[in-house]
Every structure is written in C-alpha cells, then in structure tokens.
Structure 1
Amino acid sequence: MIHRWERGMIGFGVAMLVACLARPVMMTVIADGQRRTIYARGPTVREALAQAGIPLGDLDRVTPPENVSIRPGMVITVTRITQTLEVQEVPIPFPRQILKDARLAPGENRLIRRGEPGIERVTVRITWADGQPVERQEIHRERLRDPVPEIVAVSLLGEVTSMPISGTLVFLARRDAWRVAGETTRILPLTNLGDLDGRVFTLSPDGGFLLFSRAPLTSPRPLLNTLWGLNLRADPPRPQPAGLENVLWLEWSPRGDRLAFATGEPSPGPPGWRAHNDLWIGRWGNGRIEARQVLTPTAGGPYGWWGMAWAWSPDGRRLAFGRTDGIGMLDLGSLRATILLTFPVYETRSAWAWVPALAWSPDGRYLAALVHGPPRSGEPPEQSTRFDLWILAVDAGWARPLIEDIGIWAGVLWSDLGLFFGQARQPEAGDASRYDLYWADHDGSDRRRLFPPEGEIGFGGQPDMRWGPDGRSLLVRYQGDLYRIALPSGRIDRLTARGDIAAMAWR
C-alpha cells in the first residue's frame, strides 16, 4: 500500500526529471576537426549527438561512451573510424641449397640452378582514426608462385676421412657391386658385370651372401632380370646364377634361414613390367634358391600391375603387405591373409602407382605404415595429396594416425630408438617435394630433424636408409653417396665421395 505522501514525492520526482529533460544542457563536442558548443536535452550522449545533428558511423569511437548520461559542461569527443583494404604482391625470398659434388676441385663452386623468388598476394586491413592510420592487420595471404631454390654445387674433397667400418657394407655403383673393406677409404669391386639393375640388392643377415638382379642383355624370350648370388666368404667371390628370373622383390628373413620373393613379367608399355602379385618362400643352398609358391598370381586390386610392398616380421612368422588400397598381414603358418586397414586408392593418372611404406616394431606387435589420407578440401578422396603415418596393432585390431601430412614418399624405419621417417618440405606437392629425415619417439612425440644438414638440398624422394650391425648406426644414401648417422648423438660422417651410388646393404 502506497501512502498519500509517498505518492506525492514520486510525482514531485517525475516532475523534476521532466523539467530537467526539457531544459537544454550546454556541452562541447569535438568532431570532424572542429570544436563547437551544443545545447541538447539528452538524456544520453548518443541522443545528445543526434539532437545536435552529428551522425555516428558503425565504427566511430565516442568519449565518453554513448550510453553515459549528459551533464552541463561535458566535453564529448567523436573519433571517426574507417577501414580500407590494401592488396599487395610481395616477393618470397628463395632459399639457397648446397649440393656436394666429388667432381669439383677444392674450393670450386658451380651454380647449378638460379633461384627465383616466389610471390604472395597479401591483403591488409588498415584502420584509420580521423584520417590517420592507426592499425594494419593482415587478413589473407595467398601464394601465387613458390620460390625456386638456388642450387650451388661445392667441392667435397677433404670431407671424407678414413674410419673403420664393422660388418659387411656393400653398394651398387656403375651397375656393379662394391665392398667397403674395413675402412671407408678402402673400396674394392665385387663384380665386373656392368648390368646390375638394382631391383634386388640384398645381403643375408650374417653378411655372408649378396643376392642381386641383372638386366638381360640378350635373351630368346622376354625377361625382366635374372637373379645371381655372391658368396662373400669365398676367395675370391665369384657371381653365380641363383636359378630365378623376373624377380620384382626379394628379401631375406630376419634370421636368414629363408627368403621371400615376388615375380612379374615384362610389359611393352610403361612401367615395363606387370606384377604377378604372387609370393614364394625359399632357401639358399649350394649356390641356388629352392622355393615353393605360397600365393598364386592375382590381379592385386587397383593398379595391381605395379605390385605390392612386403615386410618380414621380426620373428619371421608373418609378412605384412601393402597394396594401393590397403594394408594386411599374411601368416606363413596358416597362409591366412588378414586385412588390417583400407583407404582410397591414390589416383596417379600415370604409369606408376603408390603403395604404402611398411615397418615392424622391434617386438613384432605393431606396424608403422604410410597411409593415403583424407582430402585437404573438396577434391575426391582418390585425388587427395595428404599422406599420414599410422600405427597398426596387428593382433589387437586397432589402428590410428600418428603423424599427419608427411608426404607421399616419406618412408619409415622402426627400432628400439624410435621411428625414423621422411618429412616432405612441401607435403601438398609431396611427389615433387624434397624430403628431410626425422627421428621421433615411438608415440610420434619429440620429433627431431636428423639429415641433411641445415641449408643443404633434401632427399629427392623416399629417404634410402639401413641399420648398421650395431643397431646404433643409420646408413643413408644421399646424392649418390653414403653417410653414417651415429645415434643417439646424431653425428654425421660421410663415408664415400663418389656421387654414383644407386643401392646399398649393411649387415
């Protein structure tokens, strides 16, 4: 209940407020470069400016704020805020890459390719206050042209020093086999054939036998190659035929008691062969390989003419395989194949195909594999240029991505020290990108760049790497030469200065 005197007081207050609002209030307004006196009834700064005919833009800044009540003598400042867009094409500096060349004299440099700057279109939003720029904010950047690195060849003479090499280290150069005989400066020829094709070049785990493939010179029937063996313990070692032909892939089992291989046949069109997508298991004895077929020829799925990737498990009981559309495992006891993961085929639209790189964990429980990833934007899945490194639990039945977007030719090795893999410098163009060699923990964390040294040109494709006999030396083939990376220190030693090495093996 409101008493009569209370109602009277409320009426008096309303009357006073109306009286105040009706009486103009003198204020000062600073706006558009002018200072002027206005009379307004308000009740707030916003209404006072409107009554004085001073419009406000959406971005204009008012001091004091627009919702503040007016009072006599108030000074109101209006700052006109506008924004404009500025578009510029700015150059991207080109990097300089060093190419080591054994053919150059000491101190000699040679420009191999001139660098060209790239171009980016940069859009900047400029904020103006009363006609003066107060802020520049980049809102969009579009690359119009990638920079082309400058490549300079420099002499490497003096970079290779004599150092001991344990185990058996062999390499393929000038289409023949060579051996590093105990010291990096002592390199001896193993063959004088001039026709090794490099498709098979593998040492037995004990380092005693080298198997290699030879391109046919003349043959009454079409041949891809013939397989030969070399007993490195013989004096002197003499090449002898191993009894196999048309071998696309061959590798010793981890214990060296068996071999696995797959075959194909010559094809008149590119790439020059057609894979059978078969599998044979054999043994080396008395200078020849005796084998039985465990998988009969199949179409091999999409792009099956290219062939499959294979990898022995550490215990020699299983073989992982990679096809253009998935990854699986073959149990050599039951001969049962299990598909572990599928993904869209990478559509190359050319005479080559992509298959996953594979590596087993040292305990044989997991597989590391390169997997064709999802599209970056709206392109069809088959045209995605993204490739991720995955971990697959072969017995537990799960798989998950570990490191994303590392490039189509990344490659992978797995040891008790961690994961070793390539990383594309331009993953979105991984088929043409240069690659660096990285090292990460088993879970993908703590990534470290190992090779090549800073400023040098990267690998021109999948890094070619092998473990040394001590399990702590990583051998890499780079620009036609061999380098040893000592782990965990990461020290790099150059072992050769030839520039023509095409394959390698170290046991």
Structure 2
Amino acid sequence: MFPILSTRFRSGLWTLVIAPLLIACLARPIPVTIVADGQRRAVYLRAATVREALTQAGISLGDLDQVSPPETARIAPGMVITVTRITQTLEIQEVRIPFPRQILKDARLAPGETRLIRRGEPGLERVTIRITWADGQPMERQEIQRERVRDPVPEIVAVSLLGEVVSMPISGTLVFLARRDAWQIAGETSRILRLTSLGDLDGRIFTLSPDGRFLLFSRASSTAPRSLLNTVWGLSLGADPPRPQPVGLENVLWLEWAPQGDRVAFATGEPSPGPPGWRAHNDLWIGRWADGRIEARRVLTPTAGGPYGWWGMTWAWSPDGRRLAFGRTDGIGVLDLESRKAIPLLTFPVYETRSAWAWVPALSWSPDGRYLAALAHGPPRSGEPPEQSTRFDLWILAVDEGWARPLIEDVGLWAGILWSPQGLFFGQAHQPEAGDASRYDLYWVDHDGSDRRRLFPPEGEIGFGGQPDMRWAPDGQGLLVRYQGDLYYIAIPSGQVYRLTAQGDIAAMAWR
C-alpha cells in the first residue's frame, strides 16, 4: 500500500518539481521570429508572453498597431510574431453636386421648341474622409463628415405645351388671381384678360357676385399702416375698362356674397405682431352693395371664439340666404339671421395644433338647404388624449331634423367638401394620420356615401398639397379645380380631365 500524502504536502511537492523547470526554461533563450517595420528578425529571447518579447526586442507599439498572435499569448519556440503598423489620416475632398432640371410648360412656344430660362449651376460639398493605413498601404476609407458649401441652382427650361392645354368654351364668368392681380377667362379658355394692375391682392377675399358682374377682393399693401390688415375693393366687370375702387371695408378675414346676390356677409379682425399675423374678432356683419360701396350692420358682436379663437371661424351661406352655418375649433352650428339665434349642431374636442395655426371645420350645404356636410374632429386612434387625435371624419348633419351621423371616416384634416347637385366632392388624404402634411386626392361620392370613386389628379400625379380648391360649373356639367397653380376642368359624370391654363401661379379663383 502507498502512503497517503496530505494536500499541503502534495502542493509543496509540485512546487519543488515545477519551479526549477520554469526557472530553467526562462533561463534558456527561446528562438522566435519578429516581423515588424519591414524587417524580419530571428531572435532568442527570455520572455513569457508576446508583449514581453516585443519589449525585449526594443519594439514599441502605437495605440492602433495590431499584433499577431495577441500580446497576451504565451511564447513558444519557433513562434512568428507579426506587428502591423496602423495609422490614420484625414483627407478633405470637394465634391460637385449635379444641378437638377426643372421643366416649365409654356403654351406660347411652338411644338418641339425649348427655351433656356435659367442656366443651372452645380452645388458643392466638402467631404472629410478618414483613411486607415496598414504598414503604409491604404486599408479602409471612411466618410466621417459631409458639409454643404453651396446649393445647386436648378436649370429651368421651358417647353411647348401643345396637346396638354385645351381651348374650350366656358359658361358664366371665370376669374382667377395670379401674380397678385385679377384675371378673367373671357368665353374661351385661351382668351385671358388682365383685370387689375395693382400687384398687391392678398387672396384672402376673392369672390364674385352670383350674377358674375362684380368682383370683390382684398389688398394688402407693404406700405400700409401697421394697424391695417387689408382693404376690400370692388370691380365692375361690365365697365369698359373695369376700374377697381375701395368699397369702404378694411381688416376683413372672411367675406362672401349671399346666394341671391343682394347682400354680403363678412367677419373682421386686426393685425397681430406675432404669428399668424392677425387676431380674429369672431364677429359677423351683413352688408349691401350700392353704388360701388358696401353699407353694413353688425349682426354678432366680437367674442373670444372659443379655443384658438384668435384664428377665426368658417362660415357658409344657406342656399335660401336665411341662415349661415359656422364652424369653430370645437363645434359646428347654424345662425338664423332673422332671430340672430345660434343653434349648435355638433361638438367635438378641439384639435391641439401646438402651433401658430388652428384647425376649423370645412362646411358645405346641400342644394336644397336641408343638410350640411362638414368635417369633424374624430375620436382617438389609440390611447392618445382626444385633443391630440389625428382622425377627421366627414359628417352629414340634418339641420332642421336634428340628427347627425358620420358619412366617411378618416379623410384627413384638410379634406375640403363641396356638395353639388351630382353628389359630394371631398379630399382624401394619402396618409390620414399625418393629414396636415399629407397629399390629397379628390373623390366623388353619392349623398348617402355610396358609389365612391377617385376623380383627380390623374394617376402618377402627387395630389393636392392641402385642401382641394374646387368650384361647381354654372351649367352643372363639371367641376373646376385649382391644382399646382393651374385650372383643370373635370367633366361629370365621365370624369374626363382637361387642363385649361399654363399659368403655374394661380392662387385663387371664382366662377359664377
């Protein structure tokens, strides 16, 4: 039998055996090969690790240098130690940015003709690149900064519009606002007459009398006193030549003719030093046109107007001229002009824009005056507070019967509505949950919500950049829309689209 040794005795025994061996190994030089700085050296070293071997060989390492095997590896006879020197430098390059090309379509050019309107200029970017070198050879290039020095200037080229703009007769009187002046299409869409040469129409008021004889518009001069928001002017289209003249109104935020043409309704405000530049009074006046002037009486005294009341309200005449529908940030109602009684029809949480603008409902009466189509702030999509809901629905309100119901859900906050004898036209957001920034398409639907179909713009076009601007044709045969600064006519019910103008800068329109 073998004797049993204690643990302490065995540990001491191993120490006595191994320690002399280690000392003997360290005492005897170990052959290794070191490859560094373009040289290959065979050396004998008394080192336990790669780090110690390099130190004994007089080789220092930079922060980025790489060693193979790793510095902590144990030395073995015949080992090859390779040191790769890593350095980094910065290189700055100037890169040209190609200029884009913009196409303007001009009906005055002959077929196939082009004209350079503005020469393009490339932009410039300053790019900083970090280059990593391994033993003097480029190993990696990495972009670490890009700075725009100069934006490119687009090249603008005008091309012929032949075949895109059609010339067609129109009924009634059609006027539009472009380059801050009023223009008229006289009988044929190819015949455009300039009505004013003022250069300061602001587009806030631009409305024709129902018989198409008088145009009312607002002017905002840069030299006007700070206390003046705008002035309202009138123009008799039957005069030769038409001469604009002031009608005696100023600081008007909204104005529209009554359907019978015997009166106008308007609301006022005042200039404000901060955004949006005005403060609404939330009042209401009724005026009559006589000898080029408007004499008015106040129907509603100024009020706070509810949440976001500084923005103002929306109004819409009833077809019989006896009532005005109104929209506030928190509800919709009807004002009876004879009794001056306001009747609420629908309430909803105000939409918190958290900015210098406010959302108010779009409104449109049915031709028989029994119903009102309106945009309403809808319920939350998930768990957000009601005031932050991004859902907006199209509602139908029975004015005298007292009921209201949603017709189309989630159309977007700039949907826009027009009720015509042929049904409802409305905008539909591409992204309803982001309706303030979304593009919109124009749809048609029957008054009961059936037979919904897309009308405009043609496939491939980007859509309206906000609330669609549309007018029903006086002859009841089609719809006029303003899109990307031009006028388009949509034949109903075929849906055929005709481009009428090549202005590119039309900001408002009226058609009676």
On whether the aligned pair clears a TM of 0.5, the verdict is yes
Secondary structure in 1 matching 2:332: strand
Deviations 1:113-169 (A, max 9, x none): xxxxxxxxxxxxxxxxxxxxxxxxxxxxxxxxxxxxxxx999571111221122111
Residue 464 (1) aligns with residue 469 (2): yes
Distance of 2:115 and 2:161 partners within structure 1? 12
The one of 105, 110, 122 aligned to 1:102: 105
Residue 443, structure 1, aligned to residue 448, structure 2: yes
Matched residues in 2 for 1:310 and 1:154: separation?
A: 41
Structure 1 match to 2:161: 157
Which residue of structure 1 lines up, in the alignment, with residue 508 of structure 2? Answer: 503
1:279-290 to 2 correspondences below 5 Å: 279-290=284-295
Q: Which residue of 2 aligns with 1:46?
A: none
2:358 alignment partner in structure 1: 353
Task: Report SS of the residue matched to 2:387.
Answer: helix
Structure 1 residue 275 and structure 2 residue 284: aligned? no
Q: Which moved more, 1:237-246 or 1:159-168?
A: 159-168
Which of 386, 409, 412 is the aligned partner of 1:404? 409
Tell whether the 8 Å contact from 1:198 to 1:502 is kept in structure 2 after alignment. Answer: yes
Taking structure 1 as the reference length, what is the TM-score of the superposition? 0.70
**C-alpha contact (below 8 Å) 1:264/1:277 kept by paired residues:** yes
Q: How does 1:283-322 map to 2 (within 5 A)?
A: 283-322=288-327
Residue number in structure 2 paired with 1:205? 210
| Counterparts of 1:107 and 1:418, CA distance in 2 | 43
Does the CA-based 8 Å contact 2:114-2:160 persist in structure 1?
no
Change (3 A) 1:327 1:100: farther
- Cα contact 2:349–2:377 (8 A) shared by 1: yes
Tell me the CA shift for residue 305 of structure 1: 0.1
Provide the residue aligned with 2:83 in structure 1: none
Whether 1:419 and 2:424 are equivalent positions in the alignment is yes
In structure 1, C-alpha distance between the alignment counterparts of 2:158 and 2:224, rounded to whole Å: 44
Q: Structure 2: how far apart are the matches of 1:368 and 1:108?
A: 47
Q: Corresponding residue for 2:31? A: none
Mapped to 1, the partners of 2:358 and 2:455 lie a distance apart of: 29
Among residues 240, 243, 262, which one is paired with 2:245 in the alignment? Answer: 240
- C-alpha distance in 1 between matches for 2:203 and 2:331: 26
SS at match of 2:383: coil
Amino acid at match of 2:205: V
Residue segments in structure 1 that go unaligned for 5+ positions in a row: 1-98, 111-151
Shift of 1:102: 2.2
CA distance 1:100–1:184, change in 2 (3 Å): farther
Match of 2:480, SS state, is: strand
Residues 373 and 384 in structure 1, CA contact (< 8 A), matched pair in contact too: yes
SS at match of 2:470: strand
Does 2:459 correspond to 1:454?
Answer: yes
- Give the Cα–Cα distance (whole angstroms) in 1 for the partners of residues 199 and 294 of structure 2: 23
Q: In the alignment, is residue 395 of structure 1 matched against residue 404 of structure 2? A: no
Task: Report percent identity of matched pairs.
Answer: 82
Pairwise CA RMSD: 2.1
TM superposition shift of 1:220: 4.2
- Residue in structure 2 matched with residue 44 of structure 1 by the alignment: none
Determine if contact 2:226/2:271 at 8 Å carries over to the other structure: no
Higher-Rg member (1/2):
2
Alignment match, 1:253: 258
Alignment of structure 1 residues 17-28 onto 2, 5 Å = none
SS at match of 2:502: coil
- Moved >4 Å (runs of 4+): 103-110, 152-156
The alpha carbon displacement at 1:231 in A equals 0.3
Deviation for aligned residue 1:488: 1.1
Query: Which residue is 2:180 aligned to?
Result: 175
Cα distance in 1 for partners of 2:424, 2:215 equals 27
Give the conservation status (yes or no) of the 8 Å contact 1:180–1:188.
yes
Structure 2 SS opposite 1:474: strand
Q: Tell me, yes or no, if structure 1 residue 338 matches structure 2 residue 343.
A: yes
Alpha-carbon offset, residue 295 of structure 1: 0.2
Give the paired residue count: 369
Cα distance per residue 1:341-385 (max 9 Å; x no partner): 000000000000000000001111110000000000111100100
Give TM-score scaled by structure 2 length: 0.70
- Amino acid of the residue matched to residue 202 of structure 2? D
Q: Is residue 114–residue 158 contact of structure 2 (8 Å, CA) maintained in 1?
A: yes
Question: For 1:33-182, what aligned pairs fall within 5 Å after superposition?
Answer: 101-102=104-105, 157-158=161-162, 159-182=164-187
Alpha-carbon spacing, 1:163–1:337, altered in 2? closer, same or farther (3 Å): same
Using the TM superposition, give the Cα deviation of residue 234 of structure 1 relative to its aligned residue in structure 2, in angstroms: 0.6
Pick the aligned partner of 1:225 from 205, 227, 230: 230
Find the counterpart in structure 2 of residue 116 from structure 1. none
Aligned mates of 2:455, 2:157 — CA distance in 1: 22
Kept in 1, the 8 Å contact 2:106–2:158? The answer is no
1:289-314 per-residue CA deviation (whole Å, 9 max, x = no partner) reads 00000000000000000000000000
